[in-house]
Structure formats: C-alpha cells, structure tokens
C-alpha cells in the first residue's frame, strides 16, 4: 500500500517554495531593460501612413522604420534571452 502524506507535510513543502522568485533581482532588471528596448523599437516603427488612401507616402520606407526599429526589437529580444539565461547568483 502507498503511504499517504499528512496535510502538515504537504503545506510545509509548498510554503517553502512560495516565497522564492524564479529569477534574481539582476535578471529582472535586465528583463526590464529588454522590454524598454523592444517598446522603443515598436514606437519607432509607428507612423508613416497617409490620411488619403490614394496618395502614397515615401516616409514609410525611411531608415528609421526599415532598419533601426526592427534592429532595436531584435536587440531587445536578445537582451531578454540573456536575462533568462544569466546566472542569478552572480
């Protein structure tokens, strides 16, 4: 027969783990920086449209929207990956 655990043993085990965070403070700060960089990239991508659908606006193909903004978004995702993989004890 399988031995059943007492309710006291189960609550002690869950209480010990409920106070711990998955990442360290440094990891969360790096994640915050990554989110800010991603948000900045999306903000830079915005705009460039035209109010009149029959008029084409060349501004949509400028350097900021085609090169800079997507690069910032990719850098932000790389920062997020680094934040997840960084050792929280260092």
pLDDT at 18: 64
Digitized pLDDT (tens) for each residue of the chain, 90 residues in all:
566 666 555 555 555 556 788 889 999 999 999 999 999 999 999 987 778 888 888 888 899 999 999 999 999 999 999 999 998 877
pLDDT at 9: 55
pLDDT at 17: 57
Domain ranges in the chain? 26-85
Looking up tokens 């501004």 gives 59
pLDDT at 8: 56
CA distance 82 to 75: 10
pLDDT at 31: 97
């Amino acid at each position: 027969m399988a031995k059943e655990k007492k309710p006291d043993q189960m609550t002690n085990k869950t209480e010990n783990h409920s106070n711990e965070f998955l990442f360290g403070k440094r990891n969360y700060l790096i994640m915050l920086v990554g989110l800010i960089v991603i948000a900045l990239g999306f903000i830079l991508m915005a705009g460039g449209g035209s109010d009149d659908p029959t008029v084409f606006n060349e501004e949509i193909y400028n350097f900021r929207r085609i090169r800079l903004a997507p690069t910032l978004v990719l850098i932000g995702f790389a920062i997020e990956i680094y934040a997840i993989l960084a050792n929280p004890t260092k």
